[in-house]
Chains A and B, each alone.
Chain A
């Protein structure tokens, strides 16, 4: 626990039905308004599929009571997490972090899906990268979204 963590706050993970994370977060809000159970915030990060995180001063048993009333919420995960472990979800880093010029990537969406390419330029502000297809005879620059690629190799190509 670090210095800026408030005492008495608990962070529980609530298991949800698949793809209903946002619905569950909204439903928890409605359930809290109709009961005396206190919840301060609900987080549904994109990276955490099938779960939402609940910030509450209440104990585990009270959260179980709440979840029983929430449609699409399945159970409260036993044990709790800390603020330190969840705060990285609140300040998401750019998707192009870790991608530099010369990085070999695979396109995972769009018309060139499955093709390998070399990164030629990175636009951190727009979160876009410009690539050239690896096996193309004529080098054509293609600009794609940073989340449409998967990094294969971070080394500079030999030839």
Chain B
């Protein structure tokens, strides 16, 4: 009997801006330098008021990875 392990498919992130992307390239950086090897998750809703976004150098709202390999 073949036991299939359920693997979690992680979305791709841009290696430059760490933003989660849907397609094959990052629309912000215009690069196809993407990675699925990432950890940590950050959702920025208001980058202008957020201290966290400032520390992470993020100026656009969205979903980001904290660490990308």
* Residues of A bordering B, CB below 8 Å: 4-6, 9, 21-22, 25-26, 28-29, 32, 38-46, 55, 57, 83, 86-87, 89-92, 127
State whether the Cβ of B43 lies closer than 8 Å to any Cβ in chain A: yes
* Residues of B bordering A, CB below 8 Å: 39-46, 49-53, 55-56, 63, 66-67, 69
Which residue of chain B has its CB nearest to the CB of A94? B67
A41 in complex: contacting residue of B39, B52, B67, CB < 8 Å: B52
Contacts of A4 in B (CB 8 A): 51
The 7 tightest CB contacts between A and B, nearest first, are A40-B50, A44-B41, A46-B39, A41-B52, A42-B43, A92-B67, A40-B46
In angstroms, how far is the closest chain B Cβ from the Cβ of A133? Answer: 25
Contacts of B46 in A (CB 8 A): 38-41
CA distance A46 to B66 in the complex (A): 9
User: What are 15 A-B contacts defined by CB distance under 8 Å?
Assistant: A25-B41, A26-B43, A32-B45, A38-B46, A39-B45, A40-B46, A41-B43, A41-B50, A43-B41, A43-B43, A43-B66, A44-B40, A44-B42, A55-B50, A83-B51
Which residue of chain A has its CB nearest to the CB of B68? A92
Given contacts A40-B50, A91-B55, is CB(A29)–CB(B40) below 8 Å? no
Contacts of A5 in B (CB 8 A): 51
Given contacts A55-B50, A90-B52, A90-B55, is CB(A127)–CB(B69) below 8 Å? yes
CA distance A89 to B41 in the complex (A): 10
Given contacts A22-B41, A83-B51, A92-B40, is CB(A45)–CB(B66) below 8 Å? yes
A42 touching B42, Cβ below 8 Å: yes
Contacts of A92 in B (CB 8 A): 40, 66-67
B40 touching A41, Cβ below 8 Å: no
Contacts of B45 in A (CB 8 A): 29, 32, 39-42
In angstroms, how far is the closest chain A Cβ from the Cβ of B12? Answer: 15
